[in-house]
Every structure is written in structure tokens, then in C-alpha cells.
Amino acid sequence: MLYRRFGKTNEMVSILGFGCMRFPLLPGGDSSKIDEGESMKMVRYAIDNGLNYLDTAYPYHGNGMSEKGSSEPFVAKVIKDGYREKVKIATKLPTWLIETREDMDKYLNEQLERLEIEYIDFYLLHTLNKKVWEKLKFLGVDEFLDSAIEDGRIKYAGFSYHDKAEYFNEIIDYYDFSFCQIQFNYLDEDYQAGLDGLKYAKSKDLGLVIMEPLRGGKLAAGLPQEAMDVFNNEDKEKSPAEWALRWVLNHSEVSIILSGMSTMDQVIENINISKEAKANSLSKSELNAVEKVKDIYKSRIKVNCTTCGYCMPCPQGVDIPRNFTIYNNYYMFDEEKGYENLKEKDASHCIQCKICETHCPQSIEISKELEKVV
């Protein structure tokens, strides 16, 4: 496993972090019912092989953003038996639930209890956008972070970002954050904070955590044949996942990539990649191959959805990510449409209440796009 300096914290972190939001589930498909036996094997295998960064959050493996999920309590089980000393724990303040300054302490203290730890290594303000950020500033988030660091409940403060590039620098400049988390992959080089944000954060010596390096798994499987031909002509030994992860890690600004691994095979592959993925290690020819694949993808994408699930649950029962996945896959990967399998969860049940749009990190006009799906 390779390690990189995590910005001004000077901590050394594994370049691969375990995103604790896509664990395998028990039969039945309930996202809150983690298959703890298999998931425990996966996470501890990763830790035993050098991974030292676990990323969770209040709603992960729950049934909606307004409810607490089962990820944090499961992580508490993972880090028993001496594993706490081997890892850094990252979790996030559920900013959309904050109405008062007191709420910030309430949720942080609850998360410490759920994780069964005395302090959180890396604490993030979750899913920041301009509206949420203005509210948090008004409620005194800077004083909250200062006090939480001073009394030892958290070591370092950061944030995850989900808005237009224009607000990103403002947030960095407002508070002495130690790190930040942004979406970045070869299809999203200019999306949200993007490459410019990556470089600005680096100029401020922030640690950089990358979410969605595989764009919700879309860059790991089901690539158009013409894209696979480009990659195979360059190097038949690299999988699509390796191409995507190596491209992100080729950027020296990046400290950690998060992968929401769902199988042991994914864990093993990603660990093997993380043994060799040094910054600036891709050749000009390899970078050109990625550019060609990027162009192929962008010519096919219809809705810029990463299936993160933040839009769920829908009050009308519409499975929004699944509808968009079917819609995109039809055009991107030549897959058959399968809306009939959704039944009452298909896009036709949308009443355009637009509640989902307030939670979408990609700022998608979901109700408008669902009309096209129908």
C-alpha cells in the first residue's frame, strides 16, 4: 500500500480509503441490513493490507437522508480487537438536520457514541452547498469546530463539497479547514470543484479526499465496446477500474481515493492497484487513451446521475437512481430498457414535488429529467 501526506495535518494516509456506504446486504435488499459477516472480512482484510482510512456518515446504510443509518455502528464493530489503533476514522455532520448551534454538538456526541470512540480523526461538514453553508455560518459552525477540536472530540475539520465551483474557494478561505472531499474522476474533471478546485485546495495545503473515482461504479464495468477497445489497445492487462483509479491517483494533489467496495474481489483488486499507483506515473500515451474514452462516454450520457442515493426516499416511491441508471445505460452501454421491472417505482409516479432536488449533490433537475425517462 502506498501512502501520501494528508495536507497540513502531516498525517500519512493510505491512498485507498474504504467508503462505508456500499457494503454487501443481507437477502431482501434492505439497505440498512448489512451483511456484517462478509463486510467484516472485507474491511479487516483491507486494513491488514495497509488501508488506514475508513469513511462513514450518519445516514449511510439507512433508508433516507433524514434517518440514521447502520454504517457507523457497524464501523464500531470493525475497529474492535485492536483495529482502532490501525485506522483513521472519518465521519460527517448531517448538515441538513442542523437547525441550531446546539444541534451540532448533539449529532457529534451521538456519532461518538455510535462509533464507540473517544474522538473522530477527520470530521466533515457533509454535502456543503451555498445554501447549507450560509445557514451553518449563521448558526456558528466555526465556533463549533473550534470547540470540538479544542476539547478533543475531533482532531481535524474538513468538508465534503456538492455545488458549483464558484463557491468552493470561499468556503476554504472562511475557515482553517485541514482537508476537503470532492468528486473527481475522468468524466468529472470540470464538474463542481473540479480540477481548479483540486489545485486551489492544494495551494492551501489541504488534504484531498476524492469521492466517486469510479463514478458510482460506472467506470468499472459495462464500458461501451469502443471504449474497451481504446483501453485494450493501450494495455490489455489493466481493468477499467484500474484505468479510472490510476487516472485520479496520477494527480499529485490527491491524498486519498474513496471506494465503496461491495465484494472481496473489489477489495483485492483495489489494494493491488494501490500498491503501484504513484503520482505522475501514467505515460502520455496512457493519458491520451483516457481522453479518448472520456469523449466516447460524454457523447452518450443523458443524465449526470452518480446513483449516490441522496435523493431518496421519494415520497411517491419512485426509485430515482434506478430510473436514471436504466435511462443512461440504454444510451451509454447499449443495455435493454427495464422499466417494467420497476412497476410502481417507475418515473411515471413523479408528481414534481422537487423534494429530491434539494438533496441532489449534482444539482440535477430531477423532475424535468424524469419526464424524459417516462
pLDDT of amino acid 33: 96
Do 87 and 24 have their domain in common? yes
Q: With 90 as the cut, is the pLDDT of residue 63 above it?
A: no
Is the same domain home to 200 and 56? Answer: yes
Same-domain status, 222 and 333: no
pLDDT at 195: 95
Residues 342 and 204 both lie in one domain: no
Residue 252: which CATH number?
A: 3.20.20.100
CA distance 368 to 219: 26
In which domain, by residue range, is 336 found? 320-373
Residue whose C-alpha cell is 449534482: 362
Task: Please compute the mean of the pLDDT values over residues 104-130 and round it to a whole number.
Answer: 97
Question: Domain check: are 237 and 369 in the same one?
Answer: no
Give per-residue pLDDT as tens, 255-264: 999 999 999 9
What pLDDT does 344 receive? 74
pLDDT for the residue 261: 95
Predicted confidence (pLDDT) at residue 336 exceeds the cutoff of 80: no
Residue 194 and residue 180: Cα distance in Å, rounded? Answer: 13
DSSP secondary structure letter of residue 183: E
53 in a domain, yes or no?
yes
Residues 184 and 40 placed together within one structural domain of the fold = yes
Residue 333: pLDDT above 70?
no
- Asked if residue 153 belongs to a domain, the reply is yes
Average pLDDT on 238-258 reads: 97
Question: How far is the C-alpha of 348 from the C-alpha of 25, rounded, in Å?
Answer: 28
Total domains in the fold of the chain: 2
Last residue of a domain, one of 241, 259, 294: 294
Residue 44 domain flag: yes
| Residue with the larger pLDDT of the pair 188 and 90 | 90
For 266-321, the pLDDT digits (tens) are 999 999 999 999 999 999 999 999 999 999 988 888 888 877 888 998 999 999 98
Classify residue 310: in a domain, yes or no: no
122 with 244, same domain: the answer is yes
What is the mean pLDDT of the segment spanning 120-126?
A: 98
Compute the half-sphere exposure of residue 204: CA atoms within 13 Å on the CB side of its CA.
22
The better pLDDT of the pair 83, 63 is held by 83
Rg (CA), the chain: 20
**Quick check: is 123 in a domain?**
yes
Looking at the structure, tell me whether residues 36 and 172 fall in a common domain: yes
Of the three residues 259, 276, 294, the one that is the final residue of a domain is 294
Whether 90 maps to a domain, the answer reads yes
**Whether 183 and 143 share a structural domain:** yes
- Expressed in angstroms, the distance from the first to the final Cα of the chain is 46
CA distance 60 to 70: 7
pTM of the model: 0.84
Residues 293 and 185: their CA atoms lie apart, in Å, by 12
Q: Residue 335: pLDDT above 80? A: no
Q: How many CB atoms lie within 10 A of CB 287?
A: 12
Greater model confidence, 342 or 31: 31
Which pLDDT score, from 0 to 100, does residue 334 have? 63
In the chain, what percentage of residues exceed pLDDT 90?
79
For the stretch 176-210, pLDDT in tens is 999 999 999 998 898 889 999 999 999 999 999 99
Tell whether the torsion through CA atoms of 123, 129, 131 and 134 is positive or negative: positive
CB burial of 131-168 (b: ≥16 within 10 Å; e: otherwise) equals ebbeebeebebeebbeebbeeebbbbbbbbbbbebebb
DSSP code at position 336 = P
Q: Is residue 314 part of a domain?
A: no
Within this chain, do residues 246 and 344 fall inside the same structural domain, yes or no?
no
Are 20 and 155 in a shared domain? yes
Tell me: do 216 and 334 sit in the same domain.
no
| Domain-located, residue 107 | yes
Arithmetic mean of pLDDT over the chain: 94
